[in-house]
Chain A
Amino acid sequence: EIVLTQSPDFQSVTPKEKVTITCRASQSIGTSLHWYQQKADQSPKLLIKDASQSFSGVPSRFSGSGSGRDFTLTINSLEAEDAATYYCHQSSNYPFTFGPGTKVDIK
């Protein structure tokens, strides 16, 4: 099973600040890595698919990069509505797995 780890676990950020979240896979997964945003009591929402492709309707301040084992989600100029937990997810190998999440809080 491919294990995904994320850092940091938690980040408290002021509006307009830049946020960087990393996700590392226990083995190479090419670009089969996706990012989701989950707000409290809501379903997850896809932000980035295949490491770097923005999903339809996602604000341009969200971007993704990486390949192989190391991936990054960047939120440029954080807005208050971005307070949420962010998860990475790999679809390279079965079982599909998710990271533990990074909680982003607004100061």
Chain B
Amino acid sequence: QVQLVQSGAEVKRPGASVKVSCKASGYTFSNYVLYWVRQAPGQRLEWMGWIHGGNGETKYSQKLQGRVTITRDTSARTTYVELSSLRSEDTAMYYCSTAVAGTGGFEYWGQGTLVTVSS
């Protein structure tokens, strides 16, 4: 079965960077895209970007362009999202997600990683 397991909670100072990981299992990692989505407290979900597990192609939200980088390690079946120049508004739950049935819906989700930005 498809599983996505994320790294643990992080607390960062404003201006710092954070890197969250997502380890995939149960499907052919190199065939599919992995998405990153975040949710600030009490807010709607926000799409951050995606990476293709095979060719490493990426697509980012313009809102976060320049601050967000998504990478992958195919041998480790792990994807990473790094967000730089953190501010308090980046405090959120960060989720990875994937879709293996070839549709636009995000079919499987990680458990989430809480990133808190506080001085």
- When distances are taken between beta carbons in the complex, the residues of chain B under 8 Å from A87 are 44-45
CB A35 to nearest CB in B, in angstroms, measures: 8
**A11-19, A73-81, A96-104: which lies at the B interface?**
A96-104
Check if A49 is an interface residue, CB within 8 A of chain B: yes
Mask for A83-101, Cβ within 8 A of B = 1, else 0? Answer: 0000101011011111111
Size of interface on B: residues with Cβ below 8 Å to A: 19
Check if B111 is an interface residue, CB within 8 A of chain A: yes
Q: How many A-B residue pairs have CB under 8 A?
A: 55
CB B23 to nearest CB in A, in angstroms, measures: 15
CB A51 to nearest CB in B, in angstroms, measures: 10
CB B83 to nearest CB in A, in angstroms, measures: 16
- When distances are taken between beta carbons in the complex, the residues of chain B under 8 Å from A20 are none
Check if A62 is an interface residue, CB within 8 A of chain B: no
- Cβ of B112 and Cβ of A34 under 8 Å apart? no
- Cβ of A95 and Cβ of B109 under 8 Å apart? no
- Cβ of B45 and Cβ of A34 under 8 Å apart? no
- Cβ of B105 and Cβ of A55 under 8 Å apart? yes
Q: Is the interface of A mostly helix, strand, loop or mixed?
A: loop
**Contact pick for A49, options B59, B63, B95, B105, CB 8 Å:** B105
- Cβ of B109 and Cβ of A98 under 8 Å apart? no
- When distances are taken between beta carbons in the complex, the residues of chain A under 8 Å from B44 are 87, 98-101
Check if B82 is an interface residue, CB within 8 A of chain A: no
Check if B10 is an interface residue, CB within 8 A of chain A: no
Chain B, residue nearest A99 (CB): B44
Which residues of chain B (97-118) have a CB below 8 Å from chain A? Answer: 101, 103-107, 109-112
- Cβ of A49 and Cβ of B104 under 8 Å apart? yes
Interchain CA distance A1-B98 in the complex, whole Å: 22
Which residues of chain A (34-53) have a CB below 8 Å from chain B? Answer: 34, 36, 43-46, 48-50, 53
Known: A98-B47, A100-B44. A91 touches B107 (CB 8 A): no
CB B7 to nearest CB in A, in angstroms, measures: 15
- When distances are taken between beta carbons in the complex, the residues of chain A under 8 Å from B46 are 98
Interface of A with B (CB < 8 Å)?
Answer: 32, 34, 36, 43-46, 48-50, 53, 55, 87, 89, 91-92, 94-101
